[in-house]
């Protein structure tokens, strides 16, 4: 009897989660917000492709030429990789900043929790639906960019280049999903959608722009390099501390990871000393070796995403929602 009751409970929970997931997914896909995001990412993506194609002749290394469509910039237009690192969080922030507080303000949250579904299915369904939309946008944009690049240039990707691009897009989905989790958390703790949107944007701007400045100030204060003597004894420690502090930022963590994945010539993500260069053979890293370098980055991004979602989950479950 106990086993049958547990099975019914599990089925009921999955059914409620599935229904909420489909409802949230349909709401996203039918909204004008989704169309605006698609146009924004699509416009910037194809602008970066135009710049990459125009500068393709200046690429000195003919190996992995197809990856240059994603990593090269031209005509003062940043690369697609740079665009998505800076503007990708907008997708997550836009999809989640009013996920909970708008329903609370509109009175629909009361009716939603009154349904015969588990309460945690609400917050989980919102996050999974937002992540599904993010994955659809990122993979469609990335694959579409490659298809247009093949048609426009005639450059065909090798098997390893295709896998590197897929890994890059997967990193991007995890990165943007972190910002979705952050925006959902702010929508839980803030009563007004405008407040949660401003808080989410402020955090994004801090990590994308000001975190490097703060890291540099702290590193210079702890290990000063203002004169020749201090530069000689503190430069290594200063750089190491600065790098470690920068890696707290999801923006820097993501940028460093995808730069390593999309550039097979990158052989290290840490400080390289002269002793380490002795006897080193120049060449390209395989995809497996590049993944070994950035595996901690992916783990860190995934952990940050889960922590952010865990905060929104706990906050939502602890909040009092009065049903009429």
C-alpha angle with apex 132: 98 to 33, nearest 5 degrees?
45
Checking if the pLDDT of 279 tops 70, the result is no
Domain annotation covers residue 2: no
- Band (277; pLDDT cuts 50, 70, 90): very low
Intra-chain end-to-end CA distance of the chain, in Å: 34
Distances (CA, A) of 142 to 169, 227, 311: 7, 47, 31
Q: What per-residue confidence (pLDDT) applies to 9?
A: 53
Closest CA to 88 of 37, 127, 47: 37
HSE-up (13 A, CA, CB side) for residue 211: 18
Domain annotation covers residue 61: yes
- Mean pLDDT of the 68-80 span: 81
Expressed as residue numbers, the domain containing 232 is 13-318
Q: Which residue bears the tokens 């060449």? A: 283
- Mean pLDDT of the 175-180 span: 94
Q: What per-residue confidence (pLDDT) applies to 59?
A: 61
Domain annotation covers residue 4: no
Domain annotation covers residue 5: no
Q: What per-residue confidence (pLDDT) applies to 4?
A: 54
**Of 105-114, 136-145, 190-199, 231-240, minimum mean pLDDT range:** 105-114
Q: What per-residue confidence (pLDDT) applies to 1?
A: 45
Q: What per-residue confidence (pLDDT) applies to 276?
A: 46
Beta carbons of 81 and 70 less than 8 angstroms apart: yes
Domain annotation covers residue 25: yes
Measured CA to CA, the distance from residue 182 to residue 128 in angstroms comes to 14
Tell me the two tokens of residue 237: 């420690």
DSSP helix/strand/coil, 77 = strand
Checking if the pLDDT of 281 tops 70, the result is no
- Beta strand ranges found along the chain (DSSP E): none
- Mean pLDDT of the 268-273 span: 62
State the total domains in the chain. Answer: 1
Q: What per-residue confidence (pLDDT) applies to 41?
A: 85
Closest CA to 93 of 171, 205, 222: 205
**Of 38-47, 122-131, 135-144, 281-290, minimum mean pLDDT range:** 281-290
pLDDT tens-digit profile of 207-259? Answer: 988 998 999 999 888 888 877 777 778 888 888 888 888 888 899 999 989 98
HSE-up (13 A, CA, CB side) for residue 213: 6
Q: What per-residue confidence (pLDDT) applies to 275?
A: 47
- pTM of the full structure: 0.87
- Band (274; pLDDT cuts 50, 70, 90): very low
Checking if the pLDDT of 96 tops 50, the result is yes
Closest CA to 247 of 200, 177, 298, 174: 298
Checking if the pLDDT of 52 tops 50, the result is yes
More confident residue, 295 or 320: 295
Domain annotation covers residue 215: yes
DSSP helix/strand/coil, 3 = helix
Domain annotation covers residue 89: yes
Task: For residue 267, report the phi and psi dihedrals to the nearest 5 degrees.
Answer: -110, -5
**CB-based contacts of 293: which residues, under 8 Å, 6+ apart?**
260, 266, 268, 269, 285
Q: What per-residue confidence (pLDDT) applies to 164?
A: 93
Domain annotation covers residue 56: yes
Tell me the two tokens of residue 270: 């840490």
Neighbours of 230 (CB within 10 A): 14
More confident residue, 66 or 73: 66
Please state the separation of Cα 104 from the chain's center in Å: 28
HSE-up (13 A, CA, CB side) for residue 294: 29
Crossing angle for the helix pair 287-318 and 159-189, nearest 10 degrees? Answer: 20
């Amino acid at each position: 009897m106990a086993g049958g009751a547990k099975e019914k409970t599990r089925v009921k929970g999955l059914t409620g989660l599935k229904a909420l997931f489909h409802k949230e997914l349909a709401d996203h896909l039918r909204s004008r917000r989704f169309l605006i995001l698609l146009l924004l990412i699509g416009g910037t993506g194809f602008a970066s492709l135009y710049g990459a194609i125009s500068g393709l002749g200046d690429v000195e290394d003919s190996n992995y030429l197809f990856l240059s469509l994603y990593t090269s910039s031209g005509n003062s237009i940043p690369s697609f990789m740079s665009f998505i690192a800076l503007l990708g969080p907008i997708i997550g922030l836009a999809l989640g900043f009013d996920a909970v507080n708008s329903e609370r303000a509109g009175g629909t949250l009361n009716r939603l929790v009154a349904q015969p579904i588990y309460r945690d299915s609400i917050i989980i369904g919102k996050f999974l639906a937002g992540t599904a939309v993010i994955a659809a946008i990122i993979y469609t944009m990335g694959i579409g960019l490659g298809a247009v690049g093949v048609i426009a240039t005639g450059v065909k990707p090798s098997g390893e280049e295709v896998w590197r691009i897929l890994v890059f897009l997967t990193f991007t989905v995890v990165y943007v999903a972190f910002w979705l989790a952050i925006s959902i958390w702010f929508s839980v703790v803030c009563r007004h959608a405008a407040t949660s949107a401003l808080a989410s944007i402020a955090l994004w701007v801090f990590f994308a722009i000001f975190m490097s400045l703060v890291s540099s100030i702290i590193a210079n204060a702890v290990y000063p390099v203002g004169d020749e003597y201090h530069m000689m004894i503190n430069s290594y420690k200063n750089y190491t501390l600065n790098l470690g502090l920068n890696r707290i930022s999801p923006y820097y963590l993501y940028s460093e990871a995808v730069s390593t994945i999309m550039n097979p010539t990158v052989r290290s993500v840490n400080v390289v000393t002269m002793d380490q260069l002795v006897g080193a053979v120049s060449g390209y890293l395989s995809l497996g070796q590049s993944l070994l370098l950035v595996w901690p980055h992916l783990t860190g991004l995934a952990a940050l995403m889960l922590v952010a979602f865990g905060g929104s989950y706990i906050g939502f479950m602890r909040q009092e929602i009065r049903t009429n």
